[in-house]
Amino acid sequence: MIALISLLIVILFSIIFVRIGAVALEMTGLSRDVASFQAQSAYTGVGFTTSESEYVVSHPVRRKIIRILMFVGSAGIASAMAMLFLSFVGKTAEETFYSLIYLLIGLFLLYFFARSKLIDRGLRYVIRKALKKFTKLHVYDYELLLGLSKGYTIGRFKVRKNSWLANKKLKNLKLNEEGVLVLGIIRRTKDKDVYIGAPRGDIEILPGDELVCYGPDEIIKELSHRIRGVKGDKEHMEAVKKEKIREMEEKMEIEK
């Protein structure tokens, strides 16, 4: 019974520790979904191969959080496996049956604990307060600040040779009329990638550049596939019309 209780305690602490890691990553600017996935991936040591992982580990604070999660996760999983083995070894058939029942009940309660929105809000509040007080992390809810759940998005895409964007100055593209802001340009030089933040209007977009843009989700997706020529110009004008309609709808919503 002691081994079974220890197993459940280890699982409980694992859930809480992953939650702490997810909140810590979120406080560095990641969205809640991305932060939760990366925290779980790092703790379990599986699935940490997405393109998002490169973005996470390139940040020194996030890399430190991931390293701690991986270290504690390796110990936690090993402990859980050992406790699981001890919970059933050397038991009679009847004792094994009752241990299995207790284990299922315990796992059900832990599942409820992990999925409860009320508990999640309470834990997040406590974790944020503690991390804000005892660390140098800053809380930025980018999902709320940028309206990422309100039809807006941040997109990153590569400019192809036949792209409507290629070989044009940023100011001449008039992306602002489509409701799109270019937050940065990632340009490959001979031996490294250079990030151009808040690019000026006179900078020329080159084939091979990667653009980081903010704007309506539909427009960002369309822009990433827009090709040069009459078709591309037509798509630009249609996007401008959609932006004017969206502005009118927002204005009406505000005036209600």
Given this model, what pLDDT does residue 204 score? 96
Given this model, what pLDDT does residue 61 score? 73
One pLDDT digit (tens) per residue for the chain, 256 residues:
677 777 778 788 888 888 888 888 877 777 777 788 888 888 887 655 555 566 566 666 777 888 888 888 877 777 777 777 666 677 778 777 877 888 788 888 888 887 888 888 888 888 878 877 777 666 555 666 677 667 888 888 999 999 999 999 999 999 999 999 999 999 988 888 899 999 999 999 999 999 999 998 889 999 999 999 999 999 999 999 999 998 898 888 888 7
The fold for domain 151-255 equals Alpha-Beta Plaits (3.30.70)
Please report, for the chain, the start and end positions of each structural domain, with discontinuous segments joined by +: 2-134, 151-255
Given this model, what pLDDT does residue 69 score? 83
Given this model, what pLDDT does residue 102 score? 81
Given this model, what pLDDT does residue 140 score? 57
CB atoms within 10 A of CB 132: 13
Could you give the strand order of the β-sheet that contains 152-158, starting from the edge strand earlier in sequence? Answer: 152-158, 210-216, 181-188, 193-197
